[in-house]
């Protein structure tokens, strides 16, 4: 009896040990599989979680797994697919609404920048022409007074005229150089899609749906957490490229005011300010657009899959 009891205890211990090893192996293989997934798959899982698709996707995966080979989808599976499709379409439209507002703002700012550039080019061209005409006219006049038959007095007058014309030509050239930055302007009634990203007041149709804002404020799964969220990465990129000041000083606050102004006559913007603002909007648009890539991956992953019987 004692021998049988010892054998039973040994068998039980071995079984428990094997079971623990199997569970550990399964867990490790699952983690390895997740680690080997392409970044787009991992990002799509994170986006699905942000959008609240977890429950639907789990139900759909369970129903697809339990379906018998060769059998058509059940009504419940079809209903979940339809519900998921509608949710994905709503999310895609939310992304499109953000991209549309950003595109609208970019167009208005580009028109203002083109207008300021035209005024700048006209002013610079006139100053350069004045410098050229002054220099060439003075050169001809000085040369004409250098004939010996005119006497020393005429020569002195010519030299003085040449010096004065040279000074005038130099002044015109300096003025043309200083006008290269162009005149300042005022941003009219346009959305300010950068305002919510800097905790400034939005105007007109400026709005980020909660899922889109949460996406920007989330750290990508396969990236170093020390790099921060997608929005923090954008701000770091803007600082690195010189579009924003490196500190939270008054200069940076003025830059943010310039980047988010709309219908404020007291805020003057330059051509460079407009170029920086447009470039920042393009960066935000690019990040938000990646949500549509994730939505495509979600739909592709859970497309209807025909079940194959073992003997096929």
Return the minimum-mean-pLDDT range out of 21-25, 35-39, 120-124, 142-146. 21-25
Return the minimum-mean-pLDDT range out of 139-143, 216-220, 285-289. 139-143
Convert the pLDDT of each residue in 78-129 to its tens digit: 888 888 889 999 999 999 999 999 999 999 999 999 998 888 878 777 777 7
54-66: string of b/e by CB count within 10 Å (b at 16+)?
eebbebbeebbee
- Provide the pLDDT confidence category of residue 61 given band limits of 50, 70 and 90: confident
Q: What is the rounded CA–CA span in Å between residue 73 and residue 63?
A: 8
The answer to whether the CB of 258 falls within 8 A of the CB of 194 is no
Return the minimum-mean-pLDDT range out of 17-21, 43-47, 111-115, 292-296. 17-21
Residue 1: the pLDDT is: 47
Residue 217 has pLDDT above 80, yes or no: yes
Contacts of 170 (CB under 8 A, 6+ apart): 131
Residue 17 has pLDDT above 60, yes or no: no
Share of the chain above pLDDT 70, in %: 69
- Provide the pLDDT confidence category of residue 165 given band limits of 50, 70 and 90: low
Q: What is the rounded CA–CA span in Å between residue 217 and residue 230?
A: 6
The answer to whether the CB of 257 falls within 8 A of the CB of 265 is no
Mean predicted lDDT score pLDDT of the chain: 77
Higher pLDDT, residue 138 or 262: 262
**Stretch 222-228: mean pLDDT, rounded?**
86
Residue 254 has pLDDT above 50, yes or no: yes
Residue 190 has pLDDT above 80, yes or no: yes
Return the minimum-mean-pLDDT range out of 25-39, 90-104, 255-269. 25-39
Q: What is the rounded CA–CA span in Å between residue 186 and residue 33?
A: 54
Residue 159 has pLDDT above 60, yes or no: no
Residue found under tokens 């219908």: 263
**Stretch 139-165: mean pLDDT, rounded?**
55
Residue 32 has pLDDT above 50, yes or no: no
Contacts of 212 (CB under 8 A, 6+ apart): 94, 95, 98, 288, 291
Q: pTM here?
A: 0.73
Higher pLDDT, residue 215 or 310: 215
Residue 100: the pLDDT is: 94
Residue 311 has pLDDT above 90, yes or no: no
């Amino acid at each position: 009896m004692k021998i049988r009891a010892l054998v039973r205890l040994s068998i039980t211990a071995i079984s428990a040990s094997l079971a623990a090893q199997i569970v550990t192996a399964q867990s490790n293989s699952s983690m390895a599989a997740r680690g080997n997934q392409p970044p787009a798959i991992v990002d799509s899982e994170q986006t699905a979680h942000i959008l609240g698709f977890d429950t639907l996707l789990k139900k759909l995966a369970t129903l697809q797994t339990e379906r018998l080979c060769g059998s058509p989808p059940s009504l419940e599976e079809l209903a979940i697919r339809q519900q998921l499709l509608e949710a994905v379409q709503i999310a895609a439209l939310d992304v499109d609404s953000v991209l549309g507002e950003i595109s609208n703002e970019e167009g208005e700012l580009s028109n203002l920048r083109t207008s300021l550039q035209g005024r700048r080019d006209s002013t610079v061209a006139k100053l350069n022409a004045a410098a050229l005409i002054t220099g060439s006219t003075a050169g001809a006049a000085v040369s004409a007074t250098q004939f010996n038959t005119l006497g020393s007095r005429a020569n002195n007058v010519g030299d003085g005229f040449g010096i004065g014309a040279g000074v005038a030509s130099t002044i015109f050239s300096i003025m043309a150089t200083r006008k290269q930055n162009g005149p300042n302007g005022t941003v009219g009634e346009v959305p300010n899609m950068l305002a919510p990203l800097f905790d400034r007041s939005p105007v007109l149709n400026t709005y980020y749906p909660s899922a889109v804002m949460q996406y920007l404020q989330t750290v990508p799964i396969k990236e170093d957490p020390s790099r921060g969220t997608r929005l923090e990465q954008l701000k770091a990129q803007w600082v690195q490229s010189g579009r924003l000041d490196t500190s939270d000083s008054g200069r940076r606050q003025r830059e943010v005011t310039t980047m988010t102004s709309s219908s404020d006559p007291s805020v003057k913007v330059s051509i460079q300010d407009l170029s920086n603002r447009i470039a920042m909007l393009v960066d935000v648009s690019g990040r938000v657009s990646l949500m549509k890539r994730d939505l495509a991956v979600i739909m592709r992953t859970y497309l209807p899959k025909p079940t194959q019987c073992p003997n096929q």
